[in-house]
Structure 1
Amino acid sequence: MQNGRTTQSAVLPSRSDPPEVVRDWLAGAHPSPEQARREWRRGGISLLPLGSRFDAVRIPGDLVHAAIGSLAVSDALDGPVIHDVRTLGPTYWALVPRQDDWPGAPEAPLLSHGTCLGVPDLTVTGPPGSFWVTPPRHRDHLCRTEDVLALIACDRRELGQDHTTRAEALTALAQELPPPDTLSDDHLRGRTCVWCDTRLTAETAYLDFGQLTEPRRWFPRACRPCTDERADRGLTAREGWK
């Protein structure tokens, strides 16, 4: 970091494995690795369980862009990063080692045991849909936790306390979540929309709140119609939503 902004570090030699070796490593996060490979061949994305081989940190795009300015995400995080676009704007997913505790900011939650992440095939490096900003170069290649935490801390300093972010809009939407004790296991696990009974897939899970721990551990997700309806009820008037 320099003057509160992420700067490019020296490029150090690093090993790389053949794509099939890296793909096998990613597929190993799935209880049926061959299913993950089939999903990549069929649709370019596979829903991989987290908390076994790696975890993921969700970082809203406006936070990332505030910290790195005109630099590339790969300059700030020397590890695998996935990008997608949701109601609240661009979102980045940094793959990190498994965490026993997550001291990061609430607007950049950790996703771990009990939830899944749509992981693109290694060949998917551009839109539409989820794609790799930086794919893993070798087995066990993950972002360093301290680098992700430093990026988040820089994000918050750059934006300042008076700036309304899309992360704050996410917090506002979270206020509309129903009490978890009124929900089924499918709702709690993110298999169906938290606001309706729509079954969710990697493609139809439009909004992911990550792992919540109050008043219990749960993983709410939402479909696009429900998310848009709640956004249109007033969140579009918030500064920073535009």
Structure 2
Amino acid sequence: MDPRLTRTRDAALAAADALLDEFGMTALTHQNVAARAGLGRATVYRHWPTTVDLLLDLHTRYRPPLFVTTGDTLRERMAASFDAQLEHLVDPRSRNVSVALQGAAQHERVWLRLSETNAARLRSVADAAGPAYDLHERREHLLTVLALMTGPVLQLATFSPTAIDADLRATVLDAVVDYLNSYCRTRGATTENGAPGSTLAPAVRDGSPGPRTSTPSRRQDQQEVTPPMRSEPPHHAG
């Protein structure tokens, strides 16, 4: 690409980024972007005919990371994935673009981009969990793991960033690993701590929880704990 075009695009996207951060989605207009970037409005229209085009280009810059598939244990992979998601979500620019995209999801192209991004992230959750966990065809479980991982961080990064500390990290990892071990293990598979799945207590068919071993301790970051499998997550009243 011509270096001048690159500078023009970079200036406009930086201006759009700043406008989102300072004023929100309502400020993302061609006139405002042109004024902030020192460009002609026609130039901005030529590169981005609609504000949706601008927003999608910003999303390309701040696309959410996939889950990490390297690491010897489930907990190590989930810990690396948490750190990657955290780095993304605590960046206000990434968070602003994500929120703006959610608000513009009624536009077909935005919805398609969100669907594409979400599908890739869900596949990465299954890949990070590994073959001992039955996830690739279990969308409801993939969504739960993604929510357990990113939901608390997104809320705290938005409203109380100082609350994101080592204790929160350990709590989130406990919840994710416990959920995967409780509901998502492949029947008969050998778990990562070497215990064959066939030695586990059978799932209770009526949906009530069976006996459990202790959940992973916050101090056991390097230790896999294998609680008995339950057939389905418990349903909470209300």
Structures share fold, TM-score greater than 0.5? no
Higher relative contact order (CA 8 A, sep 6+): 1
Q: TM-score, normalised by structure 1?
A: 0.25
Structure with the greater alpha carbon radius of gyration: 2
